[in-house]
């Protein structure tokens, strides 16, 4: 699949600049770096969206953000398809090598010792091929995706912005729409009886990247 123009300029500077010489610091700063990358990407998209709408008047900023959110998730999980030119390929490999090292350190922390819980984690996350730690990276993203979405949608420019589809848990009448900052439930604690289990309205990050790109081009 051919990467859309948005992906060519995805702002992942904070990820590329991860310094894992101090592996302990890099491990603990991973969420901060991912959130900063998401925030900078959002600033870029929000700034340029009015110009984009002159050509594509039906474009919604929440949808644009959701697409980059999903691409960031693919980078973190080690399954980003974008390679780019020779220079970009080298940078991409360097980034993925850094992420492999960080998740390797996380794996070692989780599985050090011999108690039953750590043995179960070792069985779940052991990576015998390539040191990619795909399952651990997947679980890390699942655990932290809400925080990353908050970082991506914190701008006041997103006031009253809504996602293109009603995906938030609603009442008995069905799912509801986002009403503020592209977030379900406005980021508040879910009400009793509400289906809002988190603030993220999109599941693009669980759709294969090549299918998302086909849809975006269409």
At a CB cut-off of 8 Å and minimum separation 6, what does 182 contact?
61, 62, 65, 66, 153, 158, 161, 162, 163, 201
Q: What is the mean pLDDT of residues 193-203?
A: 67
- Does residue 100 sit within a domain? yes
What pLDDT is recorded for position 160? 86
User: DSSP states of 119-153 as a string?
Assistant: HHHHHHH---STT--HHHHHHHHHHHHHHHHHHHT
Q: Which of 60-74, 139-153, 178-192, 201-215 has the lowest mean pLDDT?
A: 178-192
What pLDDT is recorded for position 170? 59
84's torsion region: left (phi>0), alpha (psi -120 to 50) or beta? left
Number of domain units in the chain: 1
Q: What is the mean pLDDT of residues 24-39?
A: 87
Q: What is the pTM of this model?
A: 0.86
- Does residue 195 sit within a domain? no
- Does residue 74 sit within a domain? yes
pLDDT higher at 65 or 192: 65
- Does residue 165 sit within a domain? no
Q: With 0-12 CB in 10 A as exposed, 13-18 as middle and 19+ as buried, what is 43?
A: middle
CATH number at residue 88: 1.20.1310.20
* Residue 152 backbone dihedrals phi, psi, to 5 degrees: -80, -20
pLDDT of 75 above 60: yes
Provide the token pair at 28.
């603990």
What pLDDT is recorded for position 127? 81
pLDDT of 192 above 50: no
d(CA 19, CA 30): 10
Determine how many CB atoms are found less than 10 A away from the CB of residue 109: 12
Q: What is the mean pLDDT of residues 148-177?
A: 83
pLDDT of 55 above 80: yes
- Does residue 168 sit within a domain? no
Percent residues over pLDDT 70 in the chain: 84
Q: Show the domain range for 104.
A: 5-158+205-217
- Does residue 183 sit within a domain? no
What pLDDT is recorded for position 80? 92
Q: What is the mean pLDDT of residues 76-103?
A: 89
* Residue with tokens 């780019």, as numbered in its chain: 84
Q: Which of 84-88, 98-102, 198-202 has the lowest mean pLDDT?
A: 84-88
- Does residue 199 sit within a domain? no
- Does residue 98 sit within a domain? yes
pLDDT of 109 above 90: no
């Amino acid at each position: 699949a051919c990467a859309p123009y948005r992906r060519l300029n995805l702002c992942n500077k904070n990820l590329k600049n991860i310094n894992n010489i101090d592996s302990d610091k890099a491990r603990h700063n991973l969420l901060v770096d991912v959130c900063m990358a998401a925030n900078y990407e959002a600033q870029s998209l929000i700034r340029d969206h009015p110009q984009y709408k002159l050509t594509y008047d039906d474009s919604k900023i929440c949808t644009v953000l959701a697409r980059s959110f999903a691409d960031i998730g693919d980078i973190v999980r080690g399954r980003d398809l974008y390679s780019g030119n020779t220079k970009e390929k080298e940078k991409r490999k360097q980034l993925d090598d850094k992420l492999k090292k960080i998740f390797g350190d996380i794996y070692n922390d989780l599985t050090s010792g011999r108690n039953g819980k750590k043995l179960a984690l070792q069985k779940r996350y052991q990576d015998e091929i390539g040191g990619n730690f795909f399952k651990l990276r997947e679980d890390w993203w699942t655990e932290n995706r809400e925080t990353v979405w908050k970082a991506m949608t914190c701008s006041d420019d997103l006031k009253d912005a809504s996602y293109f589809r009603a995906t938030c848990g609603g009442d008995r009448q069905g799912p509801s729409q986002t009403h503020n900052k592209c977030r379900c439930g406005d980021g508040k604690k879910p009400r009793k009886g509400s289906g809002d289990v988190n603030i993220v309205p999109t599941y693009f990050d669980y759709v294969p990247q090549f299918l998302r790109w086909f849809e975006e081009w269409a």
